Amino acid sequence: MSLTVEAYDASQILTPGAGYLGEYDYSLNPYVGCAFGCSYCYAAFFAPFDKQASWGDWVRVKRNAVLKLSRMRRSLEGKTIYMSSATDAYQPIEQRLELTRSLLPILAARGACLVVQTRSPLVTRDIDLLRQFEKVCVNVSITTDSEEVRRAFEPRNPPIRARLDAAAEVAEAGIPAAITMTPLLPVDEPRRFAEQVAATGAHRFVVDQFVGTTGHFRAGTGKEAICLADRFSWDAERYERARDVLVSRLAPDIREGEAGFSPGYLLSNPSPRS
């Protein structure tokens, strides 16, 4: 698979929060497109129509992102920012470009409150900068306990063990971490999975099921992922059974769906858990 990379000047770097992320002041996407190319990616629905089929094979880099952010006049003090809503800020190209890394000190210096959403262990590279935020949370996506399932739905993603270890490293560094099991994919052993994610030291957990595709202009789960779910016999009933096990082990620090992404939840102090 070859990746097409294109740099361009974006008209803006911060987008007002809306929809699922309506409680955030802004979302921030350093890139457009995502080389992780997950089969269920909702963001693919927001790509230009002619680029949706090749989602995962191209990335556009906002080469003016640092300039735009540093020249921004409006105050970011106490503003909540979700990074990222339609890309992964730590996808492989970030290793070389360090664009996300360049944005972090600007956000921290301006007093922003940041939620980072990623599935990449590369986020641990920036622990030094994430420490500079007064309020921050690193959400690590871990969607299953099965490498077979992971390879089917997310073949270009880092392995599960690497993501668990990354979350643990973030938490160990004193940076609040959350595990987002969204969408929850077929799980072999829900109880063991709950133990694995709890062992990372993350302080928040989020679980959610697929969003059904309802039309051309609404984000939803791609056809490929729906077929895969059928192949693994993953239906609403099995999801609910797995969810109930996760909730019983991880309560009170687990939420389902949109409520789990609330900045008030992710950026608040952890409650003591046994």
Residues engaged in binding ligand SF4 (CB under 6 A): 34, 36-38, 41, 43, 87-88, 119
- Token pair of 99 as six digits: 């664009």
Nearest approach in angstroms of CB 90 to ligand SF4 is 9
**CB closer to ligand SF4, 41 vs 168:** 41
E strand or H helix at 227, and its extent?
Answer: helix 223-231
Nearest approach in angstroms of CB 39 to ligand SF4 is 9
Nearest approach in angstroms of CB 106 to ligand SF4 is 22
Nearest approach in angstroms of CB 111 to ligand SF4 is 27
**CB closer to ligand SF4, 119 vs 203:** 119
**CB closer to ligand SF4, 43 vs 242:** 43
Nearest approach in angstroms of CB 80 to ligand SF4 is 20
- Token pair of 95 as six digits: 């290793």
Which residues, 6 or more positions from 83, have their beta carbon under 8 angstroms from its beta carbon? 27, 28, 29, 30, 89, 100, 103, 114, 115, 116, 117
Q: What is the DSSP string of 76-136?
A: -TT-EEEE-SSS-TTSTHHHHH-HHHHHHHHHHHTT-EEEEEE--GGGGGGHHHHTT-SSE
3-state percent breakdown (helix, strand, coil) of the chain, nearest 5: 40, 15, 45
**CB closer to ligand SF4, 32 vs 187:** 32
Which residues, 6 or more positions from 204, have their beta carbon under 8 angstroms from its beta carbon? 137, 176, 177, 178, 179, 253, 254, 255, 260, 265, 266, 270
Asked whether the beta carbons of 55 and 37 are under 8 A apart, the reply is: yes
**CB closer to ligand SF4, 80 vs 141:** 141
Asked whether the beta carbons of 85 and 30 are under 8 A apart, the reply is: no
Nearest approach in angstroms of CB 140 to ligand SF4 is 11
**CB closer to ligand SF4, 27 vs 87:** 87
Nearest approach in angstroms of CB 33 to ligand SF4 is 8
**CB closer to ligand SF4, 33 vs 176:** 33
- Token pair of 8 as six digits: 């361009």
